[in-house]
Structure 1
Amino acid sequence: MATTSHTLRERWQTLTKCVCDGARLMVGQGDYAAYASHVRKTHPDREPMTEVEFFRNRENARFGVGNRNGFRCC
Structure 2
Amino acid sequence: MRQRVGQAGRYLAQGLRLMVGFPDFDTYREHMARTHPDQPAMTYEQFFRERQAARYGGADGRMSRCC
Give the aligned length: 66
- Cα RMSD after superposing both structures: 3.0
Alpha-carbon offset, residue 22 of structure 1: 2.0
Alpha-carbon offset, residue 64 of structure 1: 1.5
Correspondence for 1:59: 52
Amino-acid identity (%): 38
Greater mean deviation of Cα atoms: 14-23 or 40-49: 14-23
2:29 to 31, 36, 39: 36
Change (3 A) 1:72 1:57: farther
Alpha-carbon offset, residue 60 of structure 1: 0.8
Unaligned 5+ runs, structure 1 = 1-5
Normalized per residue, the structure richer in helix is 2
Q: Secondary structure in 2 aligned to 1:29?
A: coil
How high is the TM-score relative to the length of structure 1? 0.60
